[in-house]
Amino acid sequence: MSDKKFEDVALIKLDGTMVKVDGTEKKSSFFDFLKVPLDEWDAITFTPEEAIRIKQQLQRLSTGASAAIYLTCGGPEVCPFATKCPYVQADRARKAVDPSAKGIVPIGSECPVEIQMMDQWSFLYAKEYEIEDGNFTEWSMVRELAEIELMMWRINNNMAKSQNSELVQENVVGMTTTGDGPPVPITRMEVSAFFEAKERLSNRRSKIVKLMVGDRQEKYKREAALKQQMIPLPLPPSCVTISTRSSMSPRPWILSCLSPRLKSLRYLKFPRLLPPINSSLLSLVTPPKNKAIMKSNG
């Protein structure tokens, strides 16, 4: 083991107890991430290698249902996408040089190609939509988007095969008889099932994206509304106009007081040109020398 803390460990129990080579035991938090009463399974033991592998697999499963979508590698004779697999290609190249070389195709394990693609697509979607850690709902939506990308990748690989390259296929829709002869199938040309599946996945992806974007638009609208809220100030009922003379903003900034009963300040024109102002900073709003003129109209 590369980790020094397992150098003298012979077995690890499911409750986290580490049994050392000399027979002594030491309690650890190795399996504390499991939210189950581990004491009931303290008789189950693993080697350090097995314990690490099991922990990694269980932690990956905790990401949601998408953890179960990966294909199980069946090798070049079984996998329908073997021609696109870099492991199969490397294995064939190695055995072409040395037929007795050890195989590198991970038969019986989850497909490392699909795992890599899912992780990469999840990362890109999470980065695009700025998903926060701990937001399980949004992470589930991001993982579903990555699932759709993975399923569309499988569909495209199937459609790339010569027998599936056409967008239409001949399907049997019934049987008929002609005299005493054998039944004759009735066929009809229909849209490819792969194309229909791809279209459905595309529609589902669009719906999820709209949900993701819509939630953020509502969030941005709320934040913008809060910034444009009226600022209550105990001011006299007068209008204050600040006119700029700079080339960057040739139009005036106009502030106006409401009625004496409301005693609040609001922007009349060009609100996007105005900086945020609050009651504590109002006294600092003064025109620069020779660049602005302040007028007060009673």
Q: What is the 3-state secondary structure (H, E, C) of 89-149?
A: HHHHHHHHHCCCCCCCCCCCCECHHHHHHHHHHHHHHHHHHCCCCCCHHHHHHHHHHHHHH
Q: How many domains does the chain have?
A: 2
* pTM for the predicted model, two decimal places: 0.59
Which residues form the domain of 23? 1-62
pLDDT in tens, 176-212: 887 777 888 888 888 888 999 999 999 999 999 988 8
Identify whether 52 is part of a domain: yes
d(CA 203, CA 185): 34
Residue at a domain's end among 14, 40, 62: 62
Cα 174 from Cα 41, distance rounded (Å):
57
Residue where a domain stops, chosen among 32, 62, 92? 62
Q: Does 245 fall in a domain? A: yes
The pLDDT value given to residue 233: 46
More confident: 120 or 29: 120
Tokens of 47: 């080697």
Q: What integer pLDDT is reported at residue 226 of this predicted model?
A: 73
Average model confidence (pLDDT) across the chain: 75
Contact 79, 73 (CB under 8 A): yes
Q: Which residue has the higher pLDDT, 153 or 37?
A: 153
Q: Can you give the pLDDT at residue 215?
A: 67
Q: Which domain-ending residue is among 18, 35, 62?
A: 62
Q: Is residue 272, in this structure, part of any structural domain at all?
A: yes
Residue 273 lies in a domain: yes
Looking at residue 142, its pLDDT comes to: 93
Q: Is residue 108 part of a domain?
A: no
| 173 domain residue, yes or no | no
pLDDT tens for 72-116 read: 999 999 999 998 999 999 999 999 999 999 899 999 988 999 999
Positive or negative, the CA dihedral 170, 194, 202, 134 is positive
User: Do the domain assignments include residue 50?
Assistant: yes
pLDDT digits (tens, 9 = 90+) for 139-159: 889 999 999 999 999 999 999
> Phi and psi for 268 in degrees, rounded to 5?
-95, -45
